[in-house]
Amino acid sequence: MKPELLAPAGDMESLDAALRFGADAVYVGGPMLQLRSASAGFALDDLARAVSLAHAQGKKLYITVNCFAKDSEFTDICLYVHQLKEIGVDAVIVSDLGAIACIRQAEPHLAVHVSTQANCRNARAAEVYASLGVKRIVLSREMTLEEIRVFSSRIPPELEIEAFVHGAMCMAYSGRCLISSFLANRSGNRGECAQPCRWQYQLMEEKRPGEYFPIEEAPEGTTILSSCDLNCLSFLDELKRAGVTSFKIEGRMKSAYYVATVVNTYRRAIDQSAPIELLEEELKAVSHRPYSTGFYYGDPRQSTKKEAYIREKAFAAVVKDEQNGRVTVEQRTRFFEGDVLEVLSPSSFGLSFAVQNLRNEAGEPVSCAPHATEILTIDCPFPLKKGDILRRRS
Range with the poorest average pLDDT among 39-43, 118-122, 303-307? 303-307
- CA quadruple 312, 366, 387, 84: dihedral sign: positive
Reported as a pLDDT band with limits 50, 70 and 90, residue 190 is low
Q: What is the pTM of this model?
A: 0.88
In this prediction, residues 75-100 reach a mean pLDDT of 95
Give the model's pLDDT for residue 217. Answer: 43
High-pLDDT (> 70) share of the chain, %: 84
How confident is the model over 262-279, as pLDDT tens digits?
999 999 999 999 999 999
What CATH fold (topology level) applies to the domain 4-169+227-303?
TIM Barrel (3.20.20)
High-pLDDT (> 90) share of the chain, %: 73
Amino acid at the residue 303: S
- The pLDDT of residue 49 is above 80: yes
- The pLDDT of residue 147 is above 70: yes
Amino acid at the residue 131: S
Distance CA 318, CA 69 (A): 40
How confident is the model over 200-251, as pLDDT tens digits?
666 666 777 777 655 554 544 445 566 789 999 999 999 999 999 999 999 9
Reported as a pLDDT band with limits 50, 70 and 90, residue 145 is very high
As assigned by CATH, the class of the 313-393 domain is mainly beta
Distance CA 325, CA 207 (A): 70
Amino acid at the residue 248: K
In this prediction, residues 307-316 reach a mean pLDDT of 84
Mean pLDDT of the chain: 89
In this prediction, residues 42-68 reach a mean pLDDT of 95
Within 8 A by CB and 6+ apart from 221, the residues are 200, 308
Give the model's pLDDT for residue 47. Answer: 96
Distance CA 355, CA 367 (A): 10
- The pLDDT of residue 48 is above 90: yes
Give the model's pLDDT for residue 29. Answer: 93
- Higher-pLDDT residue of 160 and 171 is 160
Intervals of CATH 3.20.20.70 along the chain: 4-169+227-303
Intervals of CATH 2.40.30.10 along the chain: 313-393
Distance CA 356, CA 336 (A): 9
Give the model's pLDDT for residue 113. Answer: 98
